[in-house]
Chains A and B, each alone.
Chain A
Amino acid sequence: MVRRPPSPLPLAVVVGVIALVGLLAYGLASSEPDRGIERALARGERQPPPAFTLPRLGESGKSSLADFRGQVVVLNYWASWCEPCRAESPLLERWQRRLARRNATVVGVNVLDVSSDALSFVREYDLTYPMLRDRDGRTQRALGIVAYPETFVLDRRGWIVATRRGPVDERFLERTVLPLLDERE
């Protein structure tokens, strides 16, 4: 007696539904920001940042984070269309003038912005610290950036010591940057 196999159509529907649910789960999982840095910092562990090289804003040539090794770095992600970035820029420039004397620097990363707007912003606030440009935001995913501005404080070895999701203030910079200035590489 020939055994009749089950109809393939219900099977196809089930496979299709499973594929759709899988796709949805993947979409949800991949849109979650990476909070690995915060978790490590909460355990008291400093974190190496992702290695990247970006073009300099308004200049030819590229720079990488490794170029700043040996300096304390305040790495600030910003965009000209971001209002809180406007609010914190004068503070960052004041700190740059203060840090430059202690082998430390602010490094700005302009992200997802029109380059002429970014340059106008730099001129408007008279920002003197090095500026890089991440036109498509490819470096921000590994840092878990989901909004602007966001700031990372790196020690002289180039490891992340602190993060601020949102605009920095005087107190944050004093608390996180000043102790690093006396550290050696």
Chain B
Amino acid sequence: MRSILRAIVLLCLAACLATPGLAAAACPKTSVADIEDEVMCPVCGTPLALATEAPQANRERAFVLELVERCRSKAQIKAALVDQFGPRVLAMPRREGFDLAAYSVPLLALLAAGAGIAVATLRWRRAAAAEHSEKGSDGTPAADATGGAELEADMARYDL
């Protein structure tokens, strides 16, 4: 009898300890602070985290808090915000459809600019090298073959 009672007490204790863990597992935790830097205050045109005074931002923050307290995940809360305020509420464009251009166009522009600078630098260096070889190593113009022959003839004429 005593062992049965002990088993029941242990079971109750285990259940009490397990309940918060189960609840935590069922409730994806996020916070207002975690979300407000990833969404916009549409009226202010700034991320929600920066809009501390605007009434619309305060209402939006309260809406996020209500959903956090209802154990909604970050993705669910963002979806709810899009449902309420449209896709422009997201601070970062989505990585699909036309919004993908927000990531790909700057990247392509950067690559094109880099390639342009590289090509121009190469051409500039080649031209610099050609100019350098045209001059002597000491920076004076190098004598060409005709000039050399003329110099030899002059030297012979003066019979030094």
Q: CB within 8 Å of B: which residues of A?
A: 1-9, 11-12, 79-83, 112-115, 117, 135-138
Contact = CB atoms under 8 A, between A and B. Distances in A.
Contacts of B121: 8-9
B117 A8 contact: yes
A3 to B, nearest CB: 7
A136 B86 contact: yes
Interface residues of B, number: 26
Nearest to A118: B84
Interface in B85-104: 85-89
Contacts, number: 62
B120 A2 contact: no
30 contacts: A1-B131, A1-B134, A2-B127, A2-B130, A2-B131, A4-B131, A5-B123, A6-B124, A8-B120, A8-B121, A8-B124, A9-B121, A12-B113, A12-B120, A81-B59, A82-B56, A83-B55, A112-B56, A113-B59, A114-B60, A114-B63, A114-B84, A115-B84, A135-B86, A136-B42, A136-B85, A136-B86, A136-B88, A136-B89, A138-B86
B43 interface: yes
> Could you tell me the dominant secondary structure of chain A's interface residues?
loop
Interface in B124-159: 124, 127-128, 130-131, 134
